[in-house]
Amino acid sequence: MKLCFEDICRKEVIDMTSGERLGFIDDIELDINGGSVSSLIIYGGQRFFGLLGRTDDTVLTCGEIKVIGEDIILVERSQESSEMKSTKKRRNSLLSLLK
């Protein structure tokens, strides 16, 4: 099955173990040397209308993906990866609050 990035972004991600709706894919991490996708990233939600930044992003490795269906992507996260991982540096400038 071949999917373009736009098709992947339209699928909702659900954790199989908890039933939690994680959101939609926003970005991918590429392994340039290996020529493959290393992980999928779901951006964190905004805190207080975006004035206080946003929550941490969810990073899903390709090994955690179990099923890619018509509408959803089912993942099974390990215990240590079920906590949110930050893919951004903490910035407290005015520009970061406006993003």
What are the tens digits of pLDDT across the range 7-43?
A: 888 999 999 998 899 999 998 898 899 888 889 999 8
Nearest to 83 by CA among 10, 22, 35: 22
Domain ranges (residues) in the chain? 5-82
35 vs 57: CA distance, rounded Å: 24
Rounded to 10 degrees, the C-alpha dihedral 88/92/93/98 comes to 70
Say what the pTM is: 0.69
Ramachandran region, residue 49 (left: φ > 0; alpha: ψ -120 to 50; beta: rest): left
Least confident of 36-45, 62-71, 88-97: 88-97
For 53, left (φ over 0), alpha (ψ -120 to 50), or beta? left
Measured in degrees and rounded to the nearest 5, phi and psi for residue 61 equal: -80, 160
Superfamily in which the 5-82 domain is placed by CATH: PRC-barrel domain (2.30.30.240)
